[in-house]
Structure 1
Amino acid sequence: MSKNVRFRAPQNPQYGKLPGDEDGEFIFIKSREVAIEQKQPQVIVVQPKEESKPQPRRIVRDEKEKEKEKVFTPQTKLSRYWGYGFIGFNSNSHSIKNDELTFEKLEGSGGVVGFGFEYQVDPKFTLTLNLFYDEKSGSFKIKPFSSLSDNFIIEFGPDVNMDAKLSYLTLNPMMKAKSGGFYFGAGLALGFVLDKKIKFTSGYIVRDINGNFIEGGTIEEENKIEDTKTRFALPIGAGYDFKLGGFKIFIEARYDLGLTKVAKDSEWKVSSLQFLIGARYGF
C-alpha cells in the first residue's frame, strides 16, 4: 500500500505514534495558504466515539497538482497467479562407465519448450509448476577397440561414434526467492521417456584368429535403448525478469543434475546446463 501510494500520488506515507493521541486520529492537511497564515501545518484532533470525523478539505495548490488529480486512479490488486511459456536449449553432460569401451567425448545438446504456472505467496517468495519437453541427446566418441566372435577378430575404428537421442516430458515443481528483478530457485524434476534411440557408426576390419584380413567396411546401426527409466533430477538456478507492457519477460540459467540412471543395469547418467527465455502474464 505504502509503495503504491508513493509512486502514484504526491504523498509519502509515514508510520509512528504521537504522544497524547488517546486512541484518536491526527489528520494533517498540507496547504500552502494555511502554512503562510499559521506558519505550521493545520492539526485537527478527533476524540474517539464523541463525534463524527471531519472531512478534510482538499486544497489544490496549482494547475500541475490539479492535472495529477485528474489522471490519478487507484492501482488494481497485484497479480498472485501467473501463467507463462518458455523456450531454451541444453548443453548436456553424459557420464558413462563401461569396462569394455573407453569414451573420448561425452557431450550433447538439446532443446527445451514448455509452459508453467506460478503462485506468489508474498512479494519475495513464489511456487511454480512447469511442464516441458526436454531433449537430453548426446554425441559420443569411442576409442578404437576389438572384439572376438566365433574365431574371428573384429576391429572397430579408427572413428567410432555413438549418437543418443533421449527426450523426456518433464514435470518440474520449484520454489523461488525473489529480490527485486532477480530470483533464485530450486526444485525437483520428474522426466517420462519419450524418445530413446542410439545410433552406432564405425569402420571395421574382420580378421581370422591368426590375424589374416578377411573383410572391411563401415557399420551403421540404430537401435532402441532398452530398459530406460523415469528420470529424477535436481534443478537449481537463477534468473532475472523485467516488465514489458502487460507481461514480464524473464531469462533464466539453471543446472539440472541427473540423479538416476538412463537405463536399468547401466552406469549412464545425464545432466544439463539450461538457458531459458520466456514471458509471464498475471491474472
Structure 2
Amino acid sequence: MRRDEFTEMRAFLEVARERSFTRAAARLGVTRSALSHTIRAFEERLGVRLLARTTRDVAPTPAGERLVERIGPHFEGIAAEISAIGALRDMPSGNVRIVCPDDAVEMVFRPRLPAFLQEYPDVNVELIIDNGFTNIVEKQFDAGVRLGELVARDMVAVRIGPDVSYAVVGSPAYFASRSEPTTPQDLADHNCVNLRLPTSGGLYAWEFAKDSREFSVRVNGQLTMSNIEPAINAALDGVGLAYAPRDLVRWHLESGQLREVLEDWMPTFQGYHLYYPSRRNPSPAFAAFVEAFRHQRAEGGRHDRGRST
C-alpha cells in the first residue's frame, strides 16, 4: 500500500465518523481545504462517490458506509497494536479521551486528577463535557461516564464513584416569602430550575422515592439550564429550587447558603461508572487511568461488569 493511499483512507474514515470536514481536519491536524482535496482525490481514484455533502452535513454514501465497515476495524486494530507497544516502556504514555456529564468532573475526577497527572506525566487526559448519550465508539472516545443504571449491558462497566444521592435545595432568601414544600406534589407551587436533556430535548423530571415507590414529578419554573452547576448557582441567587447531587451542594448546605427540603423523598442512584466496549489490547495509558479511578468499596455494592482492564 502506498503512503498516499493510507493517508486517503484515514482521512475518509475521520470525516465519515465526525460527519464534518471541519472537525475531522482539526483531529487530523490539517486544513479543511487540504482534507477536502485528499477526499476528492480518493473518490476520483476509486471512481465512486464516498461522501454525500450538503451545506450543513456530511454523510457516507452506501459505498462509503461499506468502506467504513470493511476498513474501519483494521485501522482500529493497527491503532490498538501500536498503543500496546507502549507497554514495553517503563511508564504509560499517550492520550486518554473521556466523555462525561458536568457533575462527574467535580464529584469524581477533580479530587483525583492532580495525583494521577503527577504520577503519569506522559499521559494526557481530555475530558469532554456532554450530558447526553454520546456514541463513544463513533466519536472515538476511550470511555464514557454514566450512572450505573444508564450503562448499556454490552459495555464493560467499572465503578468510579460511590452511590449518588440528590437533594432539592433553595436559598434562605427564596424561602423568605414561600413556605417549604412537604411533598413532591407541593413543587407545583414553586419556581423550580429545570434541566434541559440534550439527547431528547425534553425537560428532566425530578425523581423521588418513598416506601419502595419510585416516581417522577415534572416541575415548572422561569429558568431552564443545560448543566447542573448553573442550576445550583441559580438556587444560590434565590431564583428558585434546584435538584442536584447532594455532594455538589454539601458545602452550601453546611454554610447555610442553601436549605434542603423533601429529604425523606430523595432517591439514591448507583454511582458513576466508566464504560467502554470490550477491547483486546487497551492502551497502557487507559489501563492506568481505569485503575487509578476505580472506586474502592469496603464491602457490598455492585460489582464491575464485563472484563476488567
TM category (shorter chain) comes to under 0.3
Q: Higher strand proportion, which one?
A: 1
Q: Higher helix proportion, which one?
A: 2
- So what's the TM-score if we normalise by structure 2? 0.21
- So what's the TM-score if we normalise by structure 1? 0.22
Larger radius of gyration, structure 1 or 2? Answer: 1
